[in-house]
């Protein structure tokens, strides 16, 4: 039986890790690959901000889920303390005494291998399986492998891997800049964004793809228009443009859901409702959309507030809430009596435009025999007094 061991901080696990693991499984004909996230790595401190070890374990499981014969183990996390490879090898050897063990590592680890704790015992228990992590490292790997063979009679295999120019350090640097998604599996990236680990912010194209998939096709044009308008208004009035994009892209993600599903989502996210809202699904999509934005896409309170109030408005609206309310109202696809006047007002005096919008909304509902929501009435009174 051939068993590979691939350890590391996986902070976060990226496609370079996954590619190397898959190639090692194929080249070495492994029966099993144990992927083992460190609890506390001995060679380096975890960079800040980093998620805890359980989060790294969850990310690693997602990242390697598509690698055949790979099994993610929590043995080092359960053991706790500093994670020394020699201790892990001893445990694997005890469990599989007759197995041939391969210890997978990148070029950087191979070249500092003599600094590892009890490295001679590691050599006695396992074949080192090394691979280049970046283009141009192949010769360095071969030299380091030959040196270990000559000095210690070590068994070293050099595995050819189509290197991916990436490292966990690169990923951590890129994620707060809304970059780096291509270096991660979609499942891993989605979980990172959900929790905003590493200070991550979602790439807008990815966010659009996720949001549009939740919409009826005919609504996509409106959401695109709302994003365009929100950006223009944010720039005009000094709101955060990136937050305006996030809120606009996500503002209608539950619009197509019927009342029963809206109520289920309200219960799931702990959203409190009044009696009017309980019977009117159209009033709930802004609230459930905010719930999904917060708990599934990791949006902050300002973005979620803008989504939450974009339908009824409220008293004491913040600037981003005003921007999203107006963008939803006047985006380029809207066509109703008075929209051009409302558009001009939105760029001249956003509070005056809000007052106009509240009045128009109330008048439209009354004309259709609908009782306006008290929040909208309160918003009109507030903006008028202001």
End-to-end Cα separation, the chain, in angstroms: 77
Structure tokens at 266: 């309200």
Dihedrals phi, psi of 10, to nearest 5 degrees = 50, 60
The pLDDT assigned to 45 comes to: 63
For the chain, where do the domains classified as CATH 3.40.50.620 start and end? 2-170
Average pLDDT, the chain: 93
What's the CA gap between 315 and 304, in Å, rounded? 16
**pLDDT at residue 273 in the model:** 82
Coil, strand or helix: which one is 153? coil
Q: What pLDDT shows up at residue 140?
A: 87
* 82 or 323, greater pLDDT: 323
Residue-level pLDDT at 133 = 74
Q: Where in the chain is the domain with CATH 1.10.3210.10?
A: 217-385
Tell me the whole-structure pTM to 2 decimals: 0.92
The reported pLDDT for the residue numbered 152 is 95
Q: For residue 39, is pLDDT > 90? A: no
In 3D space, the residue among 150, 327, 173, 164 whose CA is nearest the CA of residue 243 turns out to be: 327
In angstroms, the CA 151 to CA 202 distance is: 49
So what's the pLDDT on residue 158? 92
> What is the pLDDT at residue 298?
98
pLDDT at 278: 74
**What are the tens digits of pLDDT across the range 146-158?**
999 999 999 999 9
Confidence of residue 313 (pLDDT cuts 50, 70, 90): very high
- Return the percentage of the chain with pLDDT > 70, whole number: 96
Identify the band that residue 30 occupies on the pLDDT scale cut at 50, 70 and 90. very high
Model pLDDT, residue 239: 98
In this prediction, residue 218 carries a pLDDT of: 96
Q: How confident is the model at residue 162 (pLDDT cuts 50, 70, 90)?
A: confident
pLDDT bucket at 373, cuts 50 / 70 / 90:
confident
Q: For the residues of 68-131, what is the DSSP string, one character each?
A: TTEEE--HHHHH-SS--HHHHHHHHHHHSTT-EEEEEEEHHHHHTGGGSTTHHHHHHH-EEEEE
User: What is the structure's pLDDT at 139?
Assistant: 87
Query: Is the predicted pLDDT of residue 42 greater than 90, yes or no?
Result: no
Confidence at residue 281, expressed as pLDDT on a 0 to 100 scale: 63
Question: If you average pLDDT over residues 126-138, what whole number do you get?
Answer: 84
Q: Counting Cβ atoms within 10 Å, is residue 238 exposed (0-12), middle (13-18) or buried (19+)?
A: exposed
Q: What is the pLDDT of residue 277?
A: 72
**378-to-184, 200, 260, 358, 370 alpha-carbon distances in Å:** 46, 37, 28, 10, 16
Domain 217-385 bears CATH identifier 1.10.3210.10: yes
Mean pLDDT for 108-134 is 92
Mean pLDDT of 218-228: 98
State whether the Cα torsion 12-14-16-20 is positive or negative: positive
Q: Are 375 and 276 in contact, with CB atoms under 8 Å apart?
A: no
Query: Residue 33: beta bridge partners?
Result: 4, 70
- Res 271 pLDDT > 70: yes
User: Which CATH number applies to 2-170?
Assistant: 3.40.50.620
């Amino acid at each position: 039986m051939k068993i590979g061991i691939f350890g590391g901080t996986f902070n976060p696990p990226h496609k370079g890790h996954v590619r190397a693991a898959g190639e090692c499984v194929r080249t070495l004909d492994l029966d099993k690959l144990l992927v083992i996230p460190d609890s506390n790595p001995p060679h380096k401190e975890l960079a800040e901000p980093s998620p805890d070890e359980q989060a790294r374990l969850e990310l690693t499981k997602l990242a390697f889920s598509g690698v055949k014969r790979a099994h993610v183990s929590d043995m080092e996390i359960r053991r706790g303390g500093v994670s020394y490879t020699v201790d892990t090898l001893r445990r694997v050897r005890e469990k599989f005494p007759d197995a041939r063990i391969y210890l997978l590592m990148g070029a950087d680890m191979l070249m500092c291998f003599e600094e590892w704790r009890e490295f001679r015992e590691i050599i006695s228990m396992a074949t080192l399986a090394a691979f280049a992590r970046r283009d141009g490292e192949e010769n360095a790997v071969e030299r380091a492998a030959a040196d270990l063979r000559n000095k210690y009679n070590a068994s070293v295999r050099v595995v050819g891997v189509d290197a991916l120019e990436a490292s966990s350090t690169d990923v951590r640097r890129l994620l707060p800049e809304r970059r780096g998604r291509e270096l991660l599996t979609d499942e891993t990236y989605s979980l990172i964004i959900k929790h905003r680990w590493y200070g991550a912010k979602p790439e807008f194209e990815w966010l659009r793809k996720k949001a549009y998939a939740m919409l009826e096709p005919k609504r996509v044009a409106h959401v695109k228009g709302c994003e365009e308008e929100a950006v223009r208004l944010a720039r005009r009035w000094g709101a955060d443009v990136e937050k305006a994009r996030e809120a606009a892209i996500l503002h209608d993600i539950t619009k197509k859901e019927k009342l029963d599903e809206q109520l289920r989502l309200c219960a799931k996210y702990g959203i409190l409702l009044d009696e009017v809202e309980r019977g009117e699904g159209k009033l709930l999509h802004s609230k459930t959309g905010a719930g999904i934005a917060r708990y599934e896409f990791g949006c902050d309170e300002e973005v979620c507030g803008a989504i939450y109030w974009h339908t009824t408005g409220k008293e004491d609206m913040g600037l981003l809430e005003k921007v999203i309310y107006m963008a939803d109202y006047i985006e380029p696809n809207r066509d109703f009596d008075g929209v051009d006047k409302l558009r001009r007002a939105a760029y001249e005096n956003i509070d005056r435009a809000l007052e106009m919008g509240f009045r128009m909304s109330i008048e439209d509902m009354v004309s259709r025999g609908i009782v306006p929501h008290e929040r909208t009435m309160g918003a009109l009174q507030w903006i008028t007094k202001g």
